[in-house]
Amino acid sequence: MAPQIGAVVVDRTLPFVSLALLGYTWYVYVFRVCISAIYNELGKKAEAVVFIVIACIFWVFSLWSYAVVLATGPGTPEKNYPQPVQPPPLAEANANLPPPATSPPFAYSPEGFDMQTMHQVPVLSDPPTDPFVSVTQHDGRPRFCEHCQRIKPDRAHHCRECDSCTLKMDHHCPWVSGCVGHGNYKFFFLFVVYTSLYALWVFATTLPTVIDAVAKRGFDIDVQWIVTIVLAFLFGFLLFAFSCVHGYYILTNTTTIESISDRPYYLRVDFDRTGYSYQIVATDIGEKLWGLGYSANWRSVMGNSVAGWFFPIRNVLGNGFTYPFNSEVYDKTVRRARDQSRMSGMQQNDSTLPSMDSPPPKDTTPAPMSRRYSSETDSLV
């Protein structure tokens, strides 16, 4: 209970700390560095105005992105798919009845997916031309969250701090007071990028100004200059590294959780929608399942509009429940599933054939009438 209370306190406190740091550094940079030192004391009026304008652009976009990411949830199966779904039961070992049909509700098929909008579309062919593929448990059942009592779509995970499942969960971030996932990943990324640019700009323009004012012109050191330089240096380079890491994740269509995972995925390949005709295929550890190429990966998070990439407006593609698999991974998985299906069919056929060591079956075919009578006569003799 204590760790949970502590996590809640941190989640509620850090956003105010972030806003306070942004507000404090902006005040020091604009009024004490640009206006007081550069504009008034050094007399570099045009330079001060340019510095202020560029800093304010980064600062406003950082605040805008931060406000949106705080107000936007990552998406949860409970809200987006409210129907209660119970876990399908396992077939009993000695049961005579076949296992219940448990076709996954969220599965990907190339003919049933619109790559432009990243949404599922109806599949008209029956059976489908392209099998359905989804991430499941090792026994073929859909992934199920015992805490939320809901089926977990592909790439969804349960967050203990939020006490809910998150669609395409990347990580839990106390700085944004919640999880980062499908619905707010773009806003989080823009916040990190613009805040790093703002901090690096403040650091790069304040440090030489302070050196010039103190060393060459004999100004007294303002302690708040030093505090701002230290904060800008720490957060600027730290967030710049975060921007590079998450930019790489976007371009490769992966998440923080997926990048550190050391377990294989179990993919269920359904050849139809009955729930009975399927195979389970285990992937290689570290295999990139959802990489669609740099351009498609980027658009899936940032949107199709180039202008929209730079603004914290909602144009993320898809609903977070179904994601297209990499074409090579999909083809390889389906091929392996069909091979497994053929092998299991051959094994079933082989089990019905007699063994080489078993005695030959008795000939129960009736003999001809003439042969039967002669045999009776011979036996009497």
Give 186-231 pLDDT, tens digit per residue.
999 999 999 999 999 999 999 999 888 887 677 788 899 999 999 9
Q: Are 213 and 219 in contact (CB under 8 A)?
A: yes
Give 226-281 pLDDT, tens digit per residue.
999 999 999 999 999 999 999 999 999 999 999 998 899 999 999 988 888 899 99
Write down the mean pLDDT value for the chain.
Answer: 85
Angle CA 225–228–233, to nearest 5: 125
The per-residue pLDDT for 128 is 80
The per-residue pLDDT for 352 is 54
Give 347-365 pLDDT, tens digit per residue.
666 555 554 444 554 444 4
Instruction: Give CA–CA dist 72/189, Å, rounded.
Output: 13
Hey, what's the torsion of the CAs at 330, 335, 339, 340, to 10 degrees? Answer: 0
H or E stretch at 232: helix 223-252
Q: Global pTM? A: 0.84
Please choose, from the candidates 2, 41, 11, 25, the residue with its C-alpha nearest in 3D space to the C-alpha of residue 232: 25
The per-residue pLDDT for 41 is 86
Overall average pLDDT of the 116-124 stretch: 85
b/e code 104-135 from CB counts within 10 Å (16+ = b): bebbbbbebbeeeebebeebeeeebebbbbbb
Please choose, from the candidates 207, 249, 198, 248, the residue with its C-alpha nearest in 3D space to the C-alpha of residue 227: 207
Residue 127 or residue 3, greater confidence: 127
**Domain chopping of the chain, boundaries:** 1-73+185-253, 75-89+99-181+255-345
